[in-house]
Amino acid sequence: MTAIRFGTDGWRAIVADEFTMENVRVVAQAIAAYTKAIGQEEQGIIIGHDTRFLGRRFALAVAGVLAANGIRTYLANESVPTPVVAFGVKHFAVSGAIMITASHNPPEYNGIKYIPDYAGPATPEITERLEEEIQRIQNGGEVLSITPEEAVARRLLEVIVLRPHYEAHLRRMIHFDKMRQAHLRVVVDPMHGAGIGYVSRMLAEAGVETCGIRETADPFFGGQLPEPKDQHLSLLKQEVIKQKAALGLANDGDADRFGVVDRFGQYLTPNAILVLVAYHLVKNRGLRGRIVRTVATTHLLDRLAERYDLELVETPVGFKYIGAQMMRGDVLLGGEESGGASILGHIPEKDGVLINLLLAEMCAWEKKGIDQMLRDVYDEIGELFSTRMDIRLPEKTPWLEQIRTVSPAKVGPYAVTGVNRMDGIKLLLQGGHWVLIRPSGTEPLLRIYCEAASVGALNKITEAIREWFS
């Protein structure tokens, strides 16, 4: 029997191994039971899927289970980004949504994200209830299911179009007028994922000269991971230089994450982009509010918050914690170093499409390259340098427990001045440097995040960490 567990952003597994029609129906039955338990079965549930293998077939399997449980189901008419499905939850005031996606995972994976009625990631409390219900079903509970044809006949399944409503919302969020005056050229790369046509279409509508690459649906994502990181964006870098574009914009498989390349074909880290977005919202748009970041995200946001007298909130890793802060209101920007963010006035879910459009707006507003704007920010608040190390250990828990019990006094030449145990263990070092050590929730490894005020200091810190495991 497969143990189905929800990680930081849903359940993911290999298709035909653990991610089977049977297990998908079990998860759908658990969500149906949860929906009834909270008294929202009359509101209906939206189902979406990305461009992965068998995505629509899995979505129809989910619809059959929900309909058999008497829950009205709204199936997206095409592959859609996760943030579009989340927006649909808010726009149509439904009970929630089920998104069939494995996000940026390899093509052999698929997964399920459950989005409750507040249009953001499910909280740990909700996923715990779902896991308990899944276990009960696996231990002899019943899974109800009917065919899609029968669901339609019973008026419990209908196809819904989400894109126009989401795009209308983005027109209210983004200053298209600024882009119309700027004569920008932008290369867009949805990486064969669900974001196909979203960024490029809206930029073109705003008068931006747009060149799209990898804008065809491909369950194998062109043989690469659909993750907009430096090593996967070679084509985008080449095209930006070839087209002499102002910037390149990418999204992951379900378009909830962003990836950015400047006019020289240089990749900009999500940490740098988060700082730029916050800077733009405050300096150019004149907005204020709290800045929320995860424990693993750059402290440059702290400096920016201090510079503009804004509150800075730190959360555990996972956008669900940022989303919880956004639901309380007054969050200017919520972001994480893995490339997820949302802003004031939007849903409490990360949205790579929105952030990409916002970056084009920023370039148009400033009439500068994104690299020049980043230098302006560094001139104002200073620069920090960061990296992440993944250390494979046969047994990660004993080592982590040991360092939690007896924290090191120094990391390299830098004394430990404070310890943060919010999520893993974060060592605050003299000189404004820091190290975060936390176990992966899905693999036998430790993720170690480091940030320092200089490249030299960062090298000394990473060398010291490698010595711990030599």
Q: What is the pLDDT of residues 18-64, one digit of tens each?
A: 999 999 999 999 999 999 999 999 999 999 999 999 999 999 999 99
Residue-level pLDDT at 187? 98
What CATH number should be reported for the domain holding residue 156? 3.40.120.10
Parallel, antiparallel, or unpaired: how do β-strands 414-420 and 425-429 relate?
Answer: antiparallel
Pair 178, 191 in one domain: yes
Pair 78, 190 in one domain: no
> Which pTM value belongs to this model?
0.95
Pair 340, 234 in one domain: yes
Pair 78, 180 in one domain: no
Does any domain span residue 168? no
What CATH number should be reported for the domain holding residue 424? 3.30.310.50
Does any domain span residue 75? yes
Does any domain span residue 3? no
Give the separation between CA 79 and CA 385, rounded to whole angstroms: 37
Does any domain span residue 2? no
Last residue in a domain, options 350, 381, 412: 381
- Structural domain range at position 405: 385-468
Last residue in a domain, options 336, 355, 381: 381
Pair 216, 121 in one domain: no
Pair 19, 123 in one domain: yes
Q: What is the pLDDT of residues 145-194, one digit of tens each?
A: 999 999 999 999 999 999 999 999 999 999 999 999 899 999 999 999 99
Does any domain span residue 5? no
Pair 432, 360 in one domain: no
Pair 229, 288 in one domain: yes
Pair 405, 372 in one domain: no
Q: How many domains does the chain have?
A: 3
Pair 424, 403 in one domain: yes
What residue ranges of the chain have pLDDT lower than 50?
none
Pair 376, 238 in one domain: yes
Does any domain span residue 1? no
Give the separation between CA 81 and CA 190, rounded to whole angstroms: 10
Q: Which has the closest alpha carbon to 273: 359, 387, 375?
A: 359
Does any domain span residue 6? no
Pair 342, 249 in one domain: yes
Last residue in a domain, options 381, 397, 432: 381
Does any domain span residue 169? no
430-434 long-range contacts, CB within 8 A, separation 24+? 431/457, 432/299, 432/384, 433/457, 433/458, 433/461, 434/299
Residue-level pLDDT at 9? 81
